[in-house]
Amino acid sequence: MVITAENFFQYSKCPRWLYLELHGDSRQKTSPSDFLLRLKKDSLYFEQQVLKTIPCCVPQYEPGNYYQGMEKTLALMQQGVDWIAHGVLFTNNFLGIPDLLEKVPGNSLFGTYHYRPVEIKSGRTRRKIYLLQTIFYVHILEIIQGRLPDHMGLILSDRRQRLIPVRENYPYFQQVLQEIEAIFQGQEVSPFISSACQNCPWERTCVAEAWEREDISLIPGLSRQAKERLKNQGIIRISQLAHLSTRALRWFQQGSRGLSKRIKLQAQALASSQTIQMKRFFLPEKKVEIFLDIESEYQRGIIYLIGVLVCQDGQEEYRCFVAKDPIEECRIWQEFLAFMAQWEDDFIVYHYHTYEPMVLKKLQVKYGGEEDLLQHILGNMADIHKFIKDHLVIPTRSYSLKEIAKWLGFSWSNHKANAHQSMLWYSLWLETAQQQYLDWAIEYNRDDCLATKVVKEWLINKVS
């Protein structure tokens, strides 16, 4: 049994991920998406760029020979080298390769100095997984040098090192380490289905198993803690939860009566495979219907595509405003406003969830524009997601556009398409100028607009 930093990453994402990595059938594991591979590549490139600015020594050893790597690293530590890059820490069944080891004052087995780990991450903010992995290196260092460092270092996207106190974070690490060791020994972890599953290579395995078990984690809104409390009382199936009193469920969920009632109705909808209508509703309809979807790029923080599907007099037309270069974000905002200015009062803009109106407000602050026009647009917007959540309970495991539209029979043109993949296509377009990448991003946006229309029309049929 050798525990690595990768195990802490897997555990922090989902304990079930770690369990399946150790005890699952590897044939059922899917390959990482193009987007995740790109993230890893970008992260490695960022790390390499930072390391170029630091005068560090790198232990030389045969790839995979971690015993030799540990010997070479230990020799550098005994010499008192100021910075060690990718040193190997291998002892007591723990294997870690921190980005950097920094020499700092303070007695240890090496003398009047000791080492602390410094991790390089391309993220903008400190995350739990960063802390866990870095404290893991701290833990191994204590064994090797006979001293626990006071601080650990974290270099983020601004390339500035942050010193993080070790002792205040150490108890949490020790708790996680105990749980990881138990999973290594075979302690089973049951599936917990959530939106985070989409980036896990075991998603298909867990979802299939959850449906087979009729697992209560398939219920949207049910917290992991509530699931554990229910499990401890022998309530593990959706059908059991469907018959639980709202009062009892409120105790398990420790939420409001409304939330508990919603979860019970969700269990009933899933158990019966039927949609439940909680109250009557009327969806606004106008002569001109516009379905809006917006795409953004995470690294540069820009809006690169505003797409609209316009339906009028039985005809529909898709139109998109595309920033072929990041500096064109202002242009597409202005073009979108000019396009919207042509409509009178008899129009409505359908969108799915809160992202679109939020982006419009941000673009207004960033670039300006006619305030009355923006308020006119916002005043004629209707959130399809909110209508569904306020009035209906649907037998799906989430209320995302993809989940509901697919449940209704809609399919995207490209089976790989999702928001992350679209970001990658846009980045590849900027790097290569190959039109196909931009075309795929536009096609995905158009399909999102069409999917929103499909869900809206289904809602209208429910009303009638």
| CATH H-level, domain 288-463: superfamily | Ribonuclease H-like superfamily/Ribonuclease H (3.30.420.10)
The percent of residues above 70 in pLDDT, for the chain, comes to: 98
Looking at the chain, the domain(s) classified CATH 1.10.150 span: 214-274
Q: What is the structure's pLDDT at 124?
A: 86
The H helix count followed by the E strand count for the chain is 18, 15
Q: Strands, E, within 313-377: which ranges?
A: 315-322, 347-351
Locate 23 and state its tokens: 């005890």
Taking the C-alpha atoms of residue 394 and residue 220, their distance in angstroms, rounded to an integer, is 10
List C-alpha distances in Å: 281 to 274, 276, 278, 392, 461. Answer: 18, 13, 9, 9, 12
- DSSP three-state, residue 266: helix
Chosen CATH of 3-184 out of 3.30.300, 3.90.320, 3.30.1150, 3.40.30: 3.90.320
Report residue 464's pLDDT band, with 50, 70 and 90 as the boundaries: low
For residue 302, list its beta bridge partners: 297
From its phi and psi, is residue 159 left (phi > 0), alpha (psi between -120 and 50) or beta? Answer: left
Max mean pLDDT among 110-114, 124-128, 341-345 falls in 110-114
Q: Could you give the residue ranges of the DSSP H alpha helices within 120-256?
A: 128-145, 170-184, 203-213, 224-232, 238-242, 246-253
pLDDT band at 248 (very low <50, low <70, confident <90, very high): confident
In the structure, what pLDDT confidence band is assigned to residue 224 with cuts at 50, 70 and 90?
Answer: confident
> Alpha carbon 29 to chain centroid distance?
19
Residue 229: pLDDT band (50, 70, 90) is confident
Q: What is the pLDDT of residue 442?
A: 98
Whether 202 has a pLDDT exceeding 80, the answer reads yes
Distance of CA 186 to the CA centre of its chain: 28
| pLDDT tens profile 339-353 | 999 988 889 999 999
For the chain, residues classed under CATH 3.90.320 are 3-184
The pLDDT tens digits of the residues spanning 428-441 come to 999 999 999 999 99
Q: Could you tell me the pLDDT band of residue 33, with boundaries at 50, 70 and 90? A: confident
437 vs 270: CA distance, rounded Å: 38
Mean pLDDT, residues 44-56: 96
Instruction: At 238, list the tokens.
Output: 């959706």
Could you tell me which of 99, 100, 115 has the C-alpha nearest to residue 44?
99
Residue 134: both structure tokens together: 């870095």
CATH 3.30.420.10, the chain: domain bounds:
288-463
Give the architecture-level CATH label for domain 214-274.
Orthogonal Bundle (1.10)
Q: pLDDT per residue over 144-177, tens digit each?
A: 999 999 999 999 999 999 999 999 999 999 999 9
